[in-house]
A and B are shown apart, each in its own frame.
Chain A
């Protein structure tokens, strides 16, 4: 909003963190339930689809010519129809941010602080997010640069320290039920996080110009996907497909199994730190995009006054979004893919068509 820019490199880091955030928490379990020991294949398929999606989103971003999704829609379809589209888009973002917040809250209350009421975890977490979003996209980009090495280090540390417990036999037999179940299960990963990347169209215009923008997006989604692949593989190799599917947070269980020379134990909190960092960034991108989107929707000059009120709404929405975890599991398994598909694929497709038609129209006018 305020002429801040980030470099393509920072954008790539944000894409990586956005891809890993919250998916790292919620995808191994449903993947292992559906695709059993072939779950790793689902992630690979999803990475390929994610690559195509990021290419497609960059194309939309490029056609928007420096406009955010909200501005572009209002430009291409006029203020009224454009606003209807934006209403859907912003609602998707808003619900998504509430769900992501609830993910981390559920995790904290299940594994670490069960007696603390959910809303306090949410409020504290969101306060930091709001402070970050208040500082704007530049601060977000720079902090991503600071945190990425830590996340990579922790991830590497975790993989190395559980390496002795890896059992390659857990991956056998390959393709027990044919190739179809793992491909079908890849829908889970495509829905979370790849289709959610449409959010990034809100910050895409703030990335400095250059072809590197597209590369950054593609590379970021692949690197993030590889991290998800690593996490899924580690869960499968250490716990086996059966226990991965049985556990709500399998990677956390993997962390519990870290045992270095009998005295370095109980390092599962490392996993929690990785989750906190990545989810922090996913949520800050979501909150920032939603707020900027709403500000542009309302023709406001500054998004900052909206942060607090929208944040309050997010906390409430995250509490009432679903009554219990079983509801959420069904929601992610059955409803989310369709919801993400309409908003992550259909919506930008409509926008792209609108932008192209508009472009042709105005060109003809000029000549």
Chain B
């Protein structure tokens, strides 16, 4: 009899302990942030804008004319200060675990991003899987207030675009925050970040009417890569330089290589996969870094009268593709060594990996040392197939 009383009272105690959670947050009390823009204003304060999704618009069969996301912005002495000040404007507590993207304003990027990264990496609410990007031609907070067509959540649109560009074209790439921090801290490597462009009038883009057009007048576009030196933005890479960097680091998955063929016209090759490695070898007292790239692809678009039936002409195309890729990588190396003097290719890391003793002696002055570094590029292209047609269609059989 007594034991059953003990049991019942134990159950009651357990129930009272397990009934709630100290940290409970109900879903309808949270504002789910998908994107954050960070910049500095002229007084040196942080300028923060947060894009919060509007759940009733996202998950509904009968959408109203309210926007799917809302933005709140504020300023603060530090990032956390600014984030907490948002609570005065936002009706709900802002929850960051689902965040996809951080957009850094160009002013902050030029000043140095490291101070603002600490909070984003330290706080437990932030995952490390979000991308960081730089706002190229408009203030970062304006980028967040553009309503995008097709994809309701603008942050998802940008993230998907970055992924798509990386997968299908290779002129930009997504950089997650831990990769960024690791690159800034690595003496032999400088980070790059994708850029974001605003096309059109931001005033129009801020309005729902923007997406009522078939061709939305205001759009967001993924731009090429921004090169950093340590944690400061030093310049923008061109399309070719960005692609060259991606080839060198093995981040190109699929892209198109076009080159002139014969006398007139062009031939395009679709690269399907690439593999790259960076090796350093001591050549006397100085190291030499070799970038090796292997690309495999198909003939994809032919606008000339080449005979695709003969192995020789495929070999010819192979050579042309190799030359083209080599040129692309070379442009990136030149940009790194001569124009921007920032080792965003990670040549120093290659030296560090393969010649640690030499690296120790130059580690601290690598910034100056690496501009003199010998870099050689070896590209191997393998064309396997040529699609549905055996010959160019404008060739007379």
A-to-B contact residues, CB < 8 Å:
110-117, 120, 124, 169, 172-173, 176, 239-240, 242-243, 246, 253, 256-257, 259, 265-266, 268
Taking a contact as CB atoms under 8 Å apart, the answer to whether B22 and A120 are in contact is yes
Distance (Å) between the CB of A221 and the closest chain B CB?
A: 33
A124 in complex: contacting residue of B17, B129, B352, B353, CB < 8 Å: B17
Alpha-carbon gap, A115 to B22, bound state (A): 7
Residue of A nearest to B17 (CB): A124
Taking a contact as CB atoms under 8 Å apart, the answer to whether B127 and A173 are in contact is no
Alpha-carbon gap, A6 to B43, bound state (A): 70
Distance (Å) between the CB of A240 and the closest chain B CB?
A: 6
Chain A CB within 10 Å, residue with most, of B22, B185, B354? B22
Residue of A nearest to B349 (CB): A169
Given contacts A110-B124, A111-B124, A173-B354, contact A242 B185 (CB under 8 A): yes
Taking a contact as CB atoms under 8 Å apart, the answer to whether B22 and A242 are in contact is no
17 A-B residue pairings within 8 Å (CB atoms): A111-B124, A113-B22, A116-B23, A120-B22, A169-B349, A172-B353, A173-B352, A173-B353, A239-B178, A239-B182, A240-B182, A242-B182, A243-B182, A253-B128, A259-B129, A266-B97, A266-B127
B129 in complex: contacting residue of A239, A242, A265, CB < 8 Å: A265
Q: Is B186 an interface residue (CB 8 A)?
A: yes
Taking a contact as CB atoms under 8 Å apart, the answer to whether B353 and A169 are in contact is yes
A243 in complex: contacting residue of B22, B178, B356, B359, CB < 8 Å: B178
Alpha-carbon gap, A169 to B356, bound state (A): 13
Q: Is B308 an interface residue (CB 8 A)?
A: no
Residue of A nearest to B125 (CB): A114
Q: B352 to chain A: which residues have CB within 8 Å?
A: 172-173
Q: A112 to chain B: which residues have CB within 8 Å?
A: 23, 124
Count B-side interface residues using an 8 Å CB cutoff: 21
Taking a contact as CB atoms under 8 Å apart, the answer to whether A115 and B128 are in contact is no
A256 in complex: contacting residue of B23, B127, B355, CB < 8 Å: B127
Alpha-carbon gap, A114 to B125, bound state (A): 10
Distance (Å) between the CB of A159 and the closest chain B CB?
A: 18
Q: A266 to chain B: which residues have CB within 8 Å?
A: 97, 127
Alpha-carbon gap, A312 to B89, bound state (A): 45
10 cross-chain pairs, A with B, having the tightest CB-CB distances, nearest first: A116-B22, A172-B353, A173-B356, A113-B23, A176-B356, A256-B127, A256-B128, A115-B23, A111-B124, A173-B353
Alpha-carbon gap, A253 to B127, bound state (A): 8
Q: Is B383 an interface residue (CB 8 A)?
A: no
Alpha-carbon gap, A112 to B24, bound state (A): 11
Q: Is B181 an interface residue (CB 8 A)?
A: yes
Distance (Å) between the CB of A50 and the closest chain B CB?
A: 30
Taking a contact as CB atoms under 8 Å apart, the answer to whether B185 and A172 are in contact is no
Taking a contact as CB atoms under 8 Å apart, the answer to whether A253 and B354 are in contact is no
Alpha-carbon gap, A149 to B129, bound state (A): 30
Distance (Å) between the CB of A92 and the closest chain B CB?
A: 31
Taking a contact as CB atoms under 8 Å apart, the answer to whether A243 and B23 are in contact is no
Given contacts A116-B22, A243-B178, contact A256 B129 (CB under 8 A): yes
Alpha-carbon gap, A172 to B278, bound state (A): 13
Alpha-carbon gap, A117 to B23, bound state (A): 10
B-to-A contact residues, CB < 8 Å:
17, 21-23, 97, 124, 127-129, 178, 181-182, 185-186, 349, 352-356, 359
Q: B181 to chain A: which residues have CB within 8 Å?
A: 243, 246
Alpha-carbon gap, A205 to B140, bound state (A): 67
Q: A240 to chain B: which residues have CB within 8 Å?
A: 182
Q: B124 to chain A: which residues have CB within 8 Å?
A: 110-112, 114
Q: A242 to chain B: which residues have CB within 8 Å?
A: 182, 185-186
Alpha-carbon gap, A366 to B17, bound state (A): 61
Alpha-carbon gap, A115 to B127, bound state (A): 18
Alpha-carbon gap, A112 to B21, bound state (A): 12
Residue of A nearest to B351 (CB): A173
Distance (Å) between the CB of A138 and the closest chain B CB?
A: 21
Taking a contact as CB atoms under 8 Å apart, the answer to whether A114 and B23 are in contact is yes
Taking a contact as CB atoms under 8 Å apart, the answer to whether B17 and A257 are in contact is no
Chain A CB within 10 Å, residue with most, of B349, B353, B355? B353
Distance (Å) between the CB of B121 and the closest chain A CB?
A: 8
| Contacts beyond the supplied A112-B124, A173-B355, A242-B185: 4 A-B pairs with Cβ under 8 Å | A169-B353, A239-B178, A246-B181, A259-B129
Q: A176 to chain B: which residues have CB within 8 Å?
A: 356
Q: B21 to chain A: which residues have CB within 8 Å?
A: 113, 116
Q: A239 to chain B: which residues have CB within 8 Å?
A: 178, 182
Alpha-carbon gap, A279 to B128, bound state (A): 25
Q: B23 to chain A: which residues have CB within 8 Å?
A: 112-116
Alpha-carbon gap, A116 to B128, bound state (A): 23
Alpha-carbon gap, A117 to B352, bound state (A): 45
Taking a contact as CB atoms under 8 Å apart, the answer to whether B129 and A172 are in contact is no
Taking a contact as CB atoms under 8 Å apart, the answer to whether B353 and A257 are in contact is no
Alpha-carbon gap, A150 to B127, bound state (A): 26
Alpha-carbon gap, A176 to B178, bound state (A): 23
Alpha-carbon gap, A22 to B127, bound state (A): 23
Distance (Å) between the CB of B26 and the closest chain A CB?
A: 15
Distance (Å) between the CB of B233 and the closest chain A CB?
A: 22
Given contacts A173-B353, A239-B178, contact A257 B128 (CB under 8 A): yes
Q: A253 to chain B: which residues have CB within 8 Å?
A: 128, 178
Q: B349 to chain A: which residues have CB within 8 Å?
A: 169
Alpha-carbon gap, A58 to B245, bound state (A): 58
Alpha-carbon gap, A172 to B279, bound state (A): 12
Alpha-carbon gap, A172 to B355, bound state (A): 10
Q: A117 to chain B: which residues have CB within 8 Å?
A: 22
Residue of A nearest to B128 (CB): A256
Q: A115 to chain B: which residues have CB within 8 Å?
A: 22-23
Distance (Å) between the CB of A167 and the closest chain B CB?
A: 10
Q: A124 to chain B: which residues have CB within 8 Å?
A: 17
Distance (Å) between the CB of B351 and the closest chain A CB?
A: 10
Alpha-carbon gap, A301 to B182, bound state (A): 58
Q: A268 to chain B: which residues have CB within 8 Å?
A: 127
Q: A257 to chain B: which residues have CB within 8 Å?
A: 128-129, 178
Q: A110 to chain B: which residues have CB within 8 Å?
A: 124
Q: A265 to chain B: which residues have CB within 8 Å?
A: 127, 129
Taking a contact as CB atoms under 8 Å apart, the answer to whether A172 and B354 are in contact is yes
Alpha-carbon gap, A36 to B277, bound state (A): 23
Distance (Å) between the CB of B11 and the closest chain A CB?
A: 14
Alpha-carbon gap, A120 to B349, bound state (A): 46
Distance (Å) between the CB of A244 and the closest chain B CB?
A: 10
Residue of A nearest to B97 (CB): A266
Alpha-carbon gap, A266 to B128, bound state (A): 10
